[in-house]
Structure 1
C-alpha cells in the first residue's frame, strides 16, 4: 500500500498546467562548470507567486547531463550557496573518492569553495545527481538534476524524454513553507509536499512515435504511484539497470530516488497520473504535435544487459530498521536506527574483500515505509518465496512491517553509504556504511 495522499486537489489539478523543460548540457572530456546557487522557479501556475529555491547553473532541476557509456565526465563544481554542500552521483558505479558524501568520501565544500569531480560513467542508464549535505533541506529546495548515460547502441526510439517527479510544501504565495528539519516530519513519513508536478525534458510528441520515458523520483519523502495514459508501453529498466525482459506497464510505484525507464508507442496525449481511490490526478502531460507518423516497429526489445555481477558464496547479514513515531524503543541515540545504532560510527557496519557476496535481510520494524539505498553498487532483490534473483536495484522500498532479502556483490572498493532515502529519516539516524577493500 502507498502512504495516504496528503496533496490537495488544487495542487494536482494545477500540476500539469505549467510543464517546464529541463535545460540540457552536452558533456565530454573537457571540464563542465556546475554551480550550486540560489534560483527562483515558477512551480505554481504562471501568474501565481514564484518560489525562491536552490539549483545548479541557474535552474532547478539543474541541467540534464548526458554522457555516453564509458565516457569521462569532468565537473568543476563551485559552491555559491550560503552553506556547505557536495554533489552525489546517484546510482553510478564510480570511484569512491568521487561519490560526494561529506564525512565519508570528502569534506563538504564550503561557501565560495570548489571541488573537481572526475569519473568514467561505466554503465548506461538513468541516474541523477543531488546534494548530499543537509540533503533533507537542500534537495527539498531543488538542488538536484538528471544524469543520463546513453547506450553504445541506443534503442530505436524517436524521442528520449526525462521525467522528474517531485513535490513541494508551498505557501499560497509560492514561498517554501518553513519548518525544514522539524522533528514531526523526521519521526513520521518525512516532509511531504502539498503540490506535485512532472517536469519534462520535452513537452510535445506525435501520434505513432516510439518514445523512451526516464522517470526519476527526486522527492525527499513521497512515494509516487504513477499511471500512464496515451501510450502502449513496457518497462525496460529499473534504477538504471535493464530488465531481463520488457515488463507490462500497469501502475508503477517509485520510492524516493528510484527510477523507471519505459519505452512505448504514442496513441494519444501522454498523461502522467497520480492514482488515488477517488480519482487520478494529472501531474503532467505530453501534448500531440501536428505530424502523426505510422508506427513501423515491432515488439519492444530488451536493453543491453550491461554489468550484471555474478554472486559467489553468500555472507548473511541482517539490517533492522527501528524507531520513529509509533515505533518501539531502540538502543540508538536518535529518532531512527539500524540494528540499535543511529548515524555513522567510526567502524563500518560490515567489511568486505573485493568481490565478496552478501545477503542482507532487510527488516522494516517501524510504522513507516523506507527506501534503502546503497552507494556504489546495485543489488539483486530476491524473490520472497523461491529466493531467486530478481531485479537489480540501487534503492529498494520496504513498506511498514515488510521484510526483504537483497544480494550484493561488493566489486567496487571504498567506503560506501547505506541509508534510507527518505532524507529526513537519514538525517535523524537511519544511515550506516560498509567498507570494501
Structure 2
C-alpha cells in the first residue's frame, strides 16, 4: 500500500509507469451500444498486491470514455449485471429530466438483470462525467463512473487532450480489497468516506509521456466520495479554461492552486516547460505538502513553442446571467453532523432528537428536514430567476450539486462568478447562488460528499 511519502515531489520519473494516450477528435456516436454495470477485478494497488474487486461500467476502471461533438446524441443501453439495483446520472449535463437517473425522482432504479435505454442530445461542450445514482455512496466508491467529453465544434489549439479522473479508494492494507462497510457512522457524521489509496484513472502511478513546449488540455474530474483535491503544477505553465464544463470568459492563469470538491471539474490548458529528460507534475497538496498526482516525463524532441495566452473556449448556449432584481429568494440552512448545533429535525414526518437521528444513522438536515421530502424545496416557473442563500451551519465542508442546471455564485459586491454545477462550501460559510430555472422537471439538489447525502443532505426543486 502506498504511503504519503511515496508521492513526495522528489520521486524520480523511473517510479512511474509510462503510457502514451493520444486522443482523436470525436467520431459520430453509433446508433446504440451497451454499457454494462458489472463486477470485475483490476490491478489498482502495486503488482505485489492482489487485484481489487470493483464494480465498473464494462468492467473497467474508470468506465469507457465517451466522446461526442456538441449537439450530438448519446445513446446507450444500460445493462445491470450487479447484485443491486442501479441507475446512471449524467453529472453536469443540462438534459431532459427523464434521463437524469435519480431513482424515486426521475425514474425507477434498474433492477438486477434489467436494462434502461439512454438517449439524449449533449447541448453543452465541456467536461462531464457519469456515475451510479442508486446507493451512490457505495456504488461510486466501488468504481461505477466514467467521463463524458463533449467537444467544441472546432478543435482548440492544443496538441493533446487528456482526461484525468481523480479518486481515492478505501482499501484493506493487506488484501487491497475495498472496505465494504458503507454505513460507518463516523464517515456519515464527519468529513465523509476518505480513502487511503489515491489514484488517477485507476492508476496509483499515473504517467503520460510529453514533449517540451507541448500544450495539453487536461480535463480534471473529482470522482471521490468526499476528498477535496487541491492541485498545483510543477514544470507546467497553465490556465483554467472552464469549470464544471462551462467555459470562462477569459482564461485564468494558474499561479497558485485549484480546488476541486467532489463532483467538480476543471479544464486546464498547460504548456510543458520542464527540460527534456526531466519530469513535470500535477501535484496534490495535502496539509501544505506536495505529492505527485500525475507525472509527465519529458521525452526527446519538442513541439512548436507557444508563448501566447490561449484564446477563450467558445461559450455554451444559455449562459446569460439571471436578473437579480427580479429573482425569487430562497434559503437553504445546512445543519447537523458531529460538532454541530442541530438539536432536532424532522425524519419520516416525525421530529427526532439528534440522538434519535444518530440511532437511525442520519446526521444532517436541510431547513430542519432530513433527506428527501414529499414537497420540493421550491416550485419554480420555467424561466424564473432564483437567488438561493446557502448557510453552512456545520463544522464540515459540503459540495452542493444542482442537477439539470448551472448557477453563478453572487460575490459580496454583487458580481457574478463563473457558471458551476457544484458549490464547495466550508463550515460556517454563507454563500449565495443565482440561476435561471430554464430546464423543466424535478431536479435533485444534494451534497456530493456522498455519505452526507445518504445521511440526510438531499432535497429537490421542481421547474414547471
Shared fold per TM-score greater than 0.5: yes
In 2, are the aligned partners of 1:11 and 1:196 still within 8 Å (CA)? Answer: no
- 3-state DSSP class of the match of 2:137? helix
TM-score (norm 1): 0.94
Q: Distance in 1 between matches of 2:69 and 2:59?
A: 25
* Partner residue in 2 for 1:224: 229
* Partner residue in 2 for 1:145: 146
* Partner residue in 1 for 2:460: 433
Map 1:63-142 → 2, pairs under 5 A: 63-142=64-143
How far 1:43 sits from its partner (Å)? 1.6
- 3-state DSSP class of the match of 1:119? strand
* 2:409 pairs with one of 381, 386, 405: 381
Cα 1:414–1:434 change in 2 (3 A) is same
Cα 1:262–1:53 change in 2 (3 A) is same
Q: Distance in 2 between matches of 1:319 and 1:57?
A: 39
* Partner residue in 1 for 2:4: 9
* Partner residue in 2 for 1:311: 322
Structure 1 unaligned regions, length at least 5: 1-6
1:240 aligns with 2:245: yes
How far 1:236 sits from its partner (Å)? 0.6
Q: Distance in 2 between matches of 1:369 and 1:20?
A: 35
Q: Distance in 2 between matches of 1:174 and 1:276?
A: 23
- Report which stretch shifted further, 158-167 or 11-20: 11-20
* Partner residue in 1 for 2:295: 285
Moved over 6 A (4+): 19-25
How far 1:8 sits from its partner (Å)? 4.5
Cα 1:360–1:28 change in 2 (3 A) is same
Structure 2 unaligned regions, length at least 5: 348-361
Q: Distance in 2 between matches of 1:22 and 1:160?
A: 9
Q: Deviations over 1:81-131 (max 9, x none)?
A: 010000000000000000000010000000000000100000000000000
How far 1:153 sits from its partner (Å)? 1.5
- Report which stretch shifted further, 221-230 or 95-104: 221-230
TM-score (norm 2): 0.89
* Partner residue in 2 for 1:4: none
Q: Distance in 1 between matches of 2:73 and 2:85?
A: 26
Q: Deviations over 1:254-281 (max 9, x none)?
A: 0000001101211123312112345311
Q: Distance in 2 between matches of 1:350 and 1:296?
A: 49
Q: Distance in 1 between matches of 2:286 and 2:108?
A: 43
Q: Distance in 2 between matches of 1:20 and 1:89?
A: 28
Cα 1:111–1:18 change in 2 (3 A) is farther
In 2, are the aligned partners of 1:39 and 1:60 still within 8 Å (CA)? Answer: no
Q: Deviations over 1:282-335 (max 9, x none)?
A: 122122233312314632111111120341310011001111111122413331
* Partner residue in 1 for 2:352: none
Q: Distance in 2 between matches of 1:404 and 1:152?
A: 35
* Partner residue in 2 for 1:185: 187
* Partner residue in 1 for 2:286: 276
- 3-state DSSP class of the match of 2:372? coil
How far 1:248 sits from its partner (Å)? 1.8
Map 1:355-434 → 2, pairs under 5 A: 355-383=383-411, 385-434=412-461
Count of matched residue positions in the alignment of Structure 1 and Structure 2: 430
- Report which stretch shifted further, 269-278 or 157-166: 269-278
From the CA coordinates, give the structure whose radius of gyration is larger: 2
In 1, are the aligned partners of 2:192 and 2:452 still within 8 Å (CA)? Answer: yes
- 3-state DSSP class of the match of 1:290? strand
Cα 1:47–1:8 change in 2 (3 A) is closer
Q: Distance in 2 between matches of 1:118 and 1:50?
A: 34
